[in-house]
């Protein structure tokens, strides 16, 4: 027992040290303030989805980031020779990542339910949030332990967590009602959240409810056991690099046959051969080639670059159905708030999504000490970050060019819409720079990315619902300027050129400040 409490204390220190508690506190304040500022009907409709889709999954990505960071630092291997069992370590981590989630949910519930139902809502909804968090954290920990890189872990966890999130969301919305939905254990967590906040029971009648709850609890135990088992087997399966190539590279080359192996050796020989005078490629070109190989190995960036197309199509097909459902069921008409939804789910969501992936690649380079090589290489730090931020900006512009017209949420084409897209694309490079400026490892990088994601959702809502006197301090945030140019927002009467110049000035000022901090951190 003393060993287990010591493990919990260690996990608590990690959660505090890497800013997970801090970002949970900030998000709780921001989400609670947003819900408090919304009309009662809108807040009551939104809070179940916000608790399930955002708050309950808060700790899942941090579990993967902590796992990968410990692998790089050697902490995971060191734990193998301690008396702490894999099960104790897993339970401690799952518990310490679930506690902030429950703490975040409490004020959000209190400000949205009537006074007479606060305690009942707290009991059901926090139980649902905690159950969902345990399932997602354990599932992501088990899947992440079987991968070699952080980007590989994200690719592995995404397909598995989609049904754990999408199926209960359909149940919450009432779009699909089938006994088969309860085979997904997170449906029980979503049902507990909905029952606590709305007072309506959607669980099976009779013994169906207790059976579903026991099934979900059993799945949570099974997921934790599986994550604990993978924490040791996955570590042994990961190849450790001992030189220019990993230990497992030679057998792979041998399996490809003698001709393929000879071709690879010839290519490597040509790569080692010095370039002819006058034909030496720019160092950025070499970095681009390296990134192309990296995309083939860990195609997360390519996947996210293509994600705006399905995102836009999903919004185009589901938004009219969702509007009609909320209007007929809850008496709440979200169609009047379409500009705010477009700003949060398309205009600023895509820059954060792409910028986060590029930022995580930078964080991996920092963790692996790759940036130290720049001090003795032809590639300068400025060129490196210019390539990274330029990649983020170009991919974001391409993604917005696809998603804006296809989403069905955008206003008609106008200079204001073009200005909004251009300024929104500048948000992605700022996410990359902010991550490099304030994050020293993958865990802290996720903290920064989570903060940027909160900005992308909160700023469109706050600018939409608050008077100008209240949201005007948000102009220090560059993403705010892209919203001002959107038709329907309070400042859409201002000339697009003025908004463009103001947004560019805010973005350049933020980039200069972040670049100075990056240089002081990485060159001292």
**C-alpha 316: how far from its chain's center?**
22
Q: Which of 193, 185, 177 minimizes the C-alpha distance to 211?
A: 185
| Tokens encoding 356 | 């986060």
Half-sphere exposure of 171 (CA within 13 A, CB side): 31
Compute the distance between CA of residue 133 and CA of residue 146 in angstroms, rounded to an integer: 20
Compute the distance between CA of residue 450 and CA of residue 57 in angstroms, rounded to an integer: 12
Compute the distance between CA of residue 301 and CA of residue 399 in angstroms, rounded to an integer: 12
Secondary structure (DSSP) of 167-232: HHHHHHHTS---GGGGGSTHHHHHHHHHHHHH----SPTTTHHHHHHHHHHHHHHHHHHHHHHHHH
Compute the distance between CA of residue 102 and CA of residue 108 in angstroms, rounded to an integer: 10
Q: pLDDT digit of tens for each residue in the chain (524 aa)?
A: 677 788 888 888 888 888 889 889 988 998 898 888 877 777 888 889 899 988 999 988 888 888 877 776 666 666 666 777 888 888 999 999 999 999 999 999 998 887 777 888 889 899 999 999 999 999 999 888 887 777 777 778 888 888 999 889 888 877 777 788 889 999 999 999 988 887 765 555 556 778 889 999 999 999 999 988 887 655 444 444 434 333 333 333 334 444 444 443 444 444 444 444 545 556 666 666 666 655 655 677 778 888 899 999 989 988 888 888 778 877 777 888 888 899 999 999 999 999 998 998 888 887 777 777 766 667 778 888 888 899 999 999 999 999 999 998 988 888 889 999 999 999 999 999 999 999 888 888 888 998 899 888 889 988 888 887 788 888 899 999 999 888 878 766 788 899 999 999 999 999 999 999 988 887 66
- Are the CB atoms for 151 and 361 separated by under 8 Å? yes
Provide the percentage of residues in the chain whose pLDDT is more than 70: 82
| Tokens encoding 259 | 């001709």
What is the pTM (predicted TM-score) of this model? 0.76
Compute the distance between CA of residue 241 and CA of residue 239 in angstroms, rounded to an integer: 6
- Are the CB atoms for 383 and 345 separated by under 8 Å? no
Give Cβ neighbours of residue 330 (< 8 Å, ≥ 6 apart): 41, 44, 45
How far from 103 is each of 63, 317, 340, CA to CA, in Å? 18, 35, 28
Largest CA distance in the chain: 82
Give ∠ CA 117-54-135 in degrees, rounded to 5: 90
Give Cβ neighbours of residue 133 (< 8 Å, ≥ 6 apart): 56, 57, 58, 59, 60, 97, 98, 101, 102
Q: Which of 448, 442, 392, 401 minimizes the C-alpha distance to 420?
A: 401
Compute the distance between CA of residue 176 and CA of residue 168 in angstroms, rounded to an integer: 10
Give ∠ CA 154-155-159 in degrees, rounded to 5: 105
pLDDT value at residue 282: 63
What are 335-393's pLDDT values in tens digits? 888 888 999 999 999 999 999 989 988 888 877 777 777 666 677 788 888 888 999 99
Compute the distance between CA of residue 360 and CA of residue 432 in angstroms, rounded to an integer: 8
| Tokens encoding 101 | 């989630």
């Amino acid at each position: 027992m003393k060993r287990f409490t010591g493990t919990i204390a260690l996990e608590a220190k990690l959660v505090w040290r890497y800013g997970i508690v801090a970002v949970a506190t900030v998000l709780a304040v921001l989400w609670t303030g947003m819900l408090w500022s919304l009309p009662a009907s809108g807040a009551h409709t939104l809070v179940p989805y916000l608790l399930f889709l955002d708050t309950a999954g808060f700790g899942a990505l941090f579990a993967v980031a902590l796992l990968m960071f410990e692998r790089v630092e050697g902490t995971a291997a060191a734990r193998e020779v301690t008396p702490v069992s894999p099960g104790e370590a897993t339970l401690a981590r799952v518990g310490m990542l679930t506690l902030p989630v429950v703490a975040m949910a409490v004020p959000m519930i209190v400000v949205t339910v009537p006074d007479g139902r606060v305690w009942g809502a707290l009991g059901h909804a926090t139980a649902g949030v905690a159950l969902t968090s345990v399932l997602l954290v354990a599932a992501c920990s088990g899947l992440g332990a079987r991968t070699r890189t952080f980007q590989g872990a994200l690719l592995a966890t995404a397909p598995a967590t989609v049904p754990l999130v999408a199926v209960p969301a359909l149940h919450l919305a009432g779009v699909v009602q089938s006994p088969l939905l309860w085979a997904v254990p997170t449906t029980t967590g979503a049902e507990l959240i909905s029952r606590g906040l709305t007072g309506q029971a959607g669980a099976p009648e009779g013994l169906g409810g207790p059976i579903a709850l026991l099934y979900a609890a059993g799945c949570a135990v099974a997921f934790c056991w599986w994550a604990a088992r993978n924490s040791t087997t996955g570590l042994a399966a990961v190849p450790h690099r001992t030189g220019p190539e990993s230990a497992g590279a030679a057998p792979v080359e041998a399996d490809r046959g003698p001709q393929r192996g000879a071709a690879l050796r010839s290519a490597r020989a040509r790569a080692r051969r010095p370039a002819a005078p006058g034909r030496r490629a720019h160092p950025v070109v070499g970095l681009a080639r390296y990134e192309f190989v990296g995309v083939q190995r860990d195609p997360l960036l390519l996947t996210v670059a293509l994600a705006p197309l399905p995102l836009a199509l999903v919004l185009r097909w589901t938004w009219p159905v969702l509007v009609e459902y909320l209007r007929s069921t809850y008496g709440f008409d979200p169609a009047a708030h379409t500009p705010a939804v477009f700003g949060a789910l398309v205009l600023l969501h895509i820059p954060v999504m792409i910028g986060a992936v590029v930022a995580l690649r930078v964080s991996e380079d920092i963790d692996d000490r790759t940036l130290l090589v720049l001090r003795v290489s032809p590639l300068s730090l400025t060129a490196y970050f210019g390539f990274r931020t330029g990649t983020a900006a170009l991919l974001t512009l391409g993604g917005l060019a696809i998603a804006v017209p296809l989403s069905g949420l955008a206003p008609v084409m106008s200079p204001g819409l073009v200005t909004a897209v251009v300024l929104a694309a500048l948000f992605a490079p700022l996410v990359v720079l902010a991550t490099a400026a304030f994050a020293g490892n993958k865990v802290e990088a996720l903290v920064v990315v989570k903060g940027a994601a909160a900005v992308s959702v909160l700023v469109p809502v706050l600018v939409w619902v608050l008077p100008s006197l209240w949201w005007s301090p948000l102009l220090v945030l560059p993403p705010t300027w892209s919203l001002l140019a959107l038709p329907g927002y309070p400042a859409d009467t201002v000339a697009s050129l003025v908004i463009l110049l103001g947004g560019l000035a805010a973005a350049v000022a933020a980039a200069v400040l972040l670049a100075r901090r990056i240089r002081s951190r990485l060159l001292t």
